[in-house]
Structures are given as C-alpha cells and as structure tokens.
A and B are shown apart, each in its own frame.
Chain A
Amino acid sequence: MSGAQQPGGAASSSLRDDPAGVVFAALADPTRRHVVRTLATGTSATASGLAGELPMSRQAVAKHLAALRTAGLVEAERAGRETRYTLRPEPLAAAAGWLTATEQAWDARLGRLRERAARP
C-alpha cells in the first residue's frame, strides 16, 4: 500500500490500520462503487478498460482506482505496459461486520421494545 496516492486525504495512516471507516469513505462515491461492482465479477481490469464503460477519462478512473487501493479494496499488478486491477474482498467483509452486528443488535432491541409497548 505504500506509495498509493491518497486523493483528497481520504485516509490517515492510523485510520488505514482499520479498514471499516476508510472502506465506507471509499465507497461513498458512485463511480468507485461501479468499479467495485465491475471488478466483483472476478475479472481484472485496466484503467483504460474501465474508462471505456464510464463517462470519464482514463486519468479520472485512475484516480478512483488509487482511492480504492488506499482503502485496500483493489490490488494493482503490472502486466507488461499496463496495470491490471483486481478486487480484494476482505476489507468489504470487515466493514460489513459493524453493519451486521449493529443491525442485529437493533432488531433484537426493537423486538423487545415492541413487546414492552404491547404490555400495559
């Protein structure tokens, strides 16, 4: 991850140690979500290839890929003259952990609240 660009100061080094917040920040952008969905099909892609299906330049896509790389969501690999990007799903799972735990906690609490409200 060293040397990865930090567009807009997306992550401080201390925050990068834990993926959840950085992952959420990286996925707050619709273009980056599109890139993640595309890479989630299991194939690798180049910035040029992704730019071909998005209404933006290769440079703009490269910037988004750098942000995703900072968040640990994509991996870059040089293949000859081009750089190919693949998805790293682990940070997504870690980020989903907080959501799942919090959702389950509120479902249980609100279930008890509903029961309490039904009693006189």
Chain B
Amino acid sequence: MADVVHREIVLPVPRERAWELLTDPRELAEWLADDIELEPAAGAPVRAAWDDGVERTGTVDAVVDRAGMRFTWSDGEDLSEVTWTLQDAPGGTRVVVEERLLVPAGAWGPTLAAGPQMAALSRAAVLVLA
C-alpha cells in the first residue's frame, strides 16, 4: 500500500493533440472538471470545480512542453501532487497520471484554507512523514 494513485491510458492522438487535451481549459472542461482554470506555466494558479460542490485549488509546479506537468492542489482538507507524463506509444500517446497524497485531511485542522501557506506546510509535512 502506498499513498500514490497511478493510472495510464493510450490516447489515439498524436502528442501535440494529447498536450492540447491536457492543457487547454476548454478541453479540460470536457473531462477533468466542470469548471477549470489551468495554464501550463510554472507558478500559474490551478482551480478545478465540480458540479457536486467540490473545488480544488493549487499551483502549477513544473511544466515540460508537450512532455508533462506537475501541480499541487487541495480541496481545503487534503493536499496532493498530480503529475502528468506524455510519451509516444504505438497507436498514439500514452498519458501517465500519478497523484500523491502530501497532507491528509485533518492534518492541520479544519480551518486552514487551501493556498500558498498550505503548499509550504505540505513541504514540512513531507519531511515529518518521511
């Protein structure tokens, strides 16, 4: 058992199109969340909201053009890090998704809102938990 979720799929599209599906907010609104703000640039804010009322906000940590992206996001309770990696594959483009739990829900008390402070605290938590 580990605190990482790992998923892989091969999309029947070239790398360029796969990158567009993962980074264009209009495309992301088709599959990731009902309302999405995401720009493939390090430091850019991330906001994803779903019609059931769940909202996750965070920050893009790193981007490698057409190859991958890493961002942290939180629903105000848990905080996790998502990594997308794109690879050429037979028949299209392989997308590898990893989500790693950095701070479990409740770890810092219920009142702490998601934000830069949370991200900084998560680094400390990783050290504590290591």
Contacts and interface: CB of A to CB of B under 8 A. Distances in A.
Q: Which of B2, B97, B104, B108 has the most CB of A within 10 A?
A: B104
B11 A102 contact: no
B12 A107 contact: no
B11 A20 contact: no
The DSSP consensus for interface residues of chain A is helix
Contacts of A22: 129
Interface string B96-130: 01010101111111000000000000000100111
Interface in B20-55: 21, 27, 30-32
Contact of A24 (B5, B11, B95, B101): B101
B78 interface: yes
B74 interface: no
A96 B92 CA distance: 33
B11 A113 contact: yes
A99 B31 contact: no
A21 B12 contact: no
Interface residues of B, number: 34
Contact of B104 (A9, A20, A106, A113): A20
Interface of A: 9-12, 14-15, 17-22, 24-25, 27-28, 33, 92, 95-96, 98-99, 102-103, 106-107, 109-110, 112-118
Question: Which 10 pairs, one residue from A and one from B, show the smallest C-beta to C-beta distance?
Answer: A18-B106, A20-B104, A112-B31, A21-B104, A24-B3, A117-B11, A113-B31, A25-B129, A102-B5, A116-B30
Given A18-B104, A28-B2, A110-B7, 17 more contacts: A14-B107, A15-B128, A21-B3, A21-B103, A24-B1, A33-B1, A98-B78, A98-B101, A102-B99, A106-B5, A106-B97, A106-B99, A109-B32, A112-B30, A112-B31, A113-B11, A114-B9
Interface of B: 1-3, 5, 7, 9, 11-13, 17-18, 21, 27, 30-32, 78, 80, 92, 95, 97, 99, 101, 103-109, 125, 128-130
